[in-house]
């Protein structure tokens, strides 16, 4: 540290030079709890403050470093053998389960400390910042449901899967779950879909530092449906029609999540063509409904009656178009 970068670690922790090690530890814990990034998501000033008080405690909690700091001020790092070996010092400091002597640099200590305050040792984990942008198309209910949720859970959070029918997911429901011997009631908000996550506050693991429980995140899975499927945010389905309906057009009934509706099939439609029922799909994250996409399949009769066969033969005899005419000039 250059002399112009000198920091008053006692002032940073709000203690005096005569404060005991226990008083310094108590002050650090209070400030760390206040400025912990997980309690101040997206607050860069709080994050910088947390690193600053962690740095101050790292020095003042170590008797040897504190002695050098008191004696040499801004030149304490150059004094003695604290950095002569190229490392971070080898005198372990007393902070719960932390052994400062195991770190090769202050940055390594900070990464471990920031990640580890959520509970347990996280030596191999890099600190996750809390400034990751939240998705713009999510919404919350009292159960904390979010669509497109992409935030990583904290170390005291835990995850589980919940399996729903299409009806339960579309309309919402109440579920009673038994997780690790604990029975909890969960309200499923309308509009859950595969990939959705439901946040249940205060049902995660106990955070040994904050002395509070994390959250439970339920990953939604849907049981297969005989008719509906998902394609992005929209519902998809397949609608079989007869050859004459494809040629002449028709008005047909088709199921939607709200019940059957009448849909117009235009004359001359091709097999595999998709029609759109606007606002008849799934519940959207921002309210309203997505669309239901209807894929048309022309169902050829496998066992036509004798009269049907007679008419198909007549159609074949009078048909004046060749649907394969464009293939005559195809070559390798």
Please check whether residues 218 and 243 belong to one and the same domain.
no
Both tokens assigned to 94: 């007393």
Decide: 249 and 265 in contact? Cβ < 8 Å: yes
* Domain boundary pick from 69, 98, 116: 116
Residues 106 and 154: their CA atoms lie apart, in Å, by 23
The residues, ordered by sequence, that sit 6+ positions from 78 with a Cβ below 8 Å of its Cβ are 72
By the 10 Å C-beta count (0-12 exposed, 13-18 middle, 19+ buried), 133 is classed as exposed
Decide: 290 and 282 in contact? Cβ < 8 Å: yes
The total number of structural domains in the chain stands at 3
Please check whether residues 218 and 236 belong to one and the same domain.
no
Please check whether residues 217 and 236 belong to one and the same domain.
no
Residues 56 and 51: their CA atoms lie apart, in Å, by 9
Please check whether residues 174 and 110 belong to one and the same domain.
no
Please check whether residues 25 and 101 belong to one and the same domain.
yes
Inter-CA distances, 165 with 31, 71, 172, 222, Å: 47, 70, 10, 6
What secondary structure letter does DSSP report for 76? G
Decide: 262 and 275 in contact? Cβ < 8 Å: no
Please check whether residues 155 and 177 belong to one and the same domain.
yes
Please check whether residues 27 and 99 belong to one and the same domain.
yes
- Looking only at the bridges linking them, the beta strands covering 229-231 and 274-277 are unpaired
Token match 């028709």: residue?
Answer: 250
Q: Is residue 48 part of a domain?
A: yes
Q: Is residue 122 part of a domain?
A: no
Q: Is residue 128 part of a domain?
A: no
Residues 306 and 283: their CA atoms lie apart, in Å, by 47
What secondary structure letter does DSSP report for 186? E
Can you give the residue range of the structural domain that contains 208?
Answer: 145-222
Q: What is the pTM of this model?
A: 0.53
The residues, ordered by sequence, that sit 6+ positions from 32 with a Cβ below 8 Å of its Cβ are 50, 53, 54, 57, 117
**Please, what is the end-to-end C-alpha distance for the chain in angstroms?**
73
Please check whether residues 95 and 74 belong to one and the same domain.
yes
Task: Report the CATH number at residue 51.
Answer: 1.10.287.110
Please check whether residues 9 and 60 belong to one and the same domain.
yes
- The per-residue pLDDT for 138 is 36
Please check whether residues 25 and 109 belong to one and the same domain.
yes
Q: What are phi and psi of 131, to 5 degrees?
A: -105, 15
Q: Is residue 268 part of a domain?
A: yes
Q: Is residue 326 part of a domain?
A: no
Q: Is residue 327 part of a domain?
A: no
Task: Report the CATH number at residue 260.
Answer: 2.60.260.20
Please check whether residues 152 and 61 belong to one and the same domain.
no
Both tokens assigned to 50: 């947390």
Which ranges of the chain have pLDDT less than 50? 1-3, 81-98, 100, 116-154
Q: Is residue 331 part of a domain?
A: no
- The per-residue pLDDT for 151 is 41
The residues, ordered by sequence, that sit 6+ positions from 305 with a Cβ below 8 Å of its Cβ are none
* Domain boundary pick from 174, 191, 222: 222
- The per-residue pLDDT for 137 is 35
Residue among 62, 47, 69 nearest 103 (CA): 62
By the 10 Å C-beta count (0-12 exposed, 13-18 middle, 19+ buried), 122 is classed as middle
Residues 15 and 145: their CA atoms lie apart, in Å, by 43
Please check whether residues 151 and 98 belong to one and the same domain.
no
Q: Is residue 7 part of a domain?
A: yes
* Domain boundary pick from 190, 222, 254: 222
């Amino acid at each position: 540290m250059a002399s112009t970068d000198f920091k008053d670690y006692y002032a940073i922790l709000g203690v005096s030079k005569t404060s005991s090690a226990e008083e310094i530890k108590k002050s650090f814990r209070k400030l760390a709890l206040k400025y912990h990034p997980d309690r101040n998501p997206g607050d860069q000033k709080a994050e910088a403050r947390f690193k600053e008080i962690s740095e101050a405690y790292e020095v003042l909690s170590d008797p040897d470093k504190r002695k050098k700091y008191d004696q040499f001020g801004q030149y304490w790092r150059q004094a003695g053998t604290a950095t002569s070996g190229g490392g971070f010092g080898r005198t372990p400091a007393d902070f719960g389960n932390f052994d400062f002597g195991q770190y090769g640099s202050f940055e390594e200590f900070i990464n471990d400390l920031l990640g580890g305050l959520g509970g347990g040792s996280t030596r191999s984990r890099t600190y996750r910042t809390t400034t990751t942008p939240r998705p713009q198309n999510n919404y919350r209910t009292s159960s904390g449901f979010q669509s497109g949720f992409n935030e990583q859970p904290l170390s005291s959070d835990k995850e589980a899967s919940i399996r729903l029918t299409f009806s339960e997911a579309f309309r919402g429901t109440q579920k009673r779950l038994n997780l690790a011997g604990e029975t909890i009631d969960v309200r499923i908000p309308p509009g859950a879909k595969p990939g959705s996550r439901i946040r249940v506050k205060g049902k995660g693991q106990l955070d040994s530092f904050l002395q509070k429980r994390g959250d439970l995140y339920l990953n939604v899975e849907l049981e297969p449906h005989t008719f509906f499927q998902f394609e992005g945010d929209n519902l998809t389905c397949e609608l079989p029609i007869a050859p004459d309906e494809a040629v002449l057009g028709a008005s047909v009934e088709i199921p939607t999540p709200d019940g059957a509706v009448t849909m117009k099939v235009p004359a001359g439609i091709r097999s595999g063509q998709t029609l759109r029922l606007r606002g008849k799909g799934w519940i959207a994250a921002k309210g309203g409904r997505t669309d239901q996409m209807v894929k048309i399949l022309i169902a050829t009769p496998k066992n036509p009656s004798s009269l049907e066969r007679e008419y198909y033969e007549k159609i074949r005899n009078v048909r004046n178009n060749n649907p394969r005419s464009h293939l005559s000039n195809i070559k390798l």
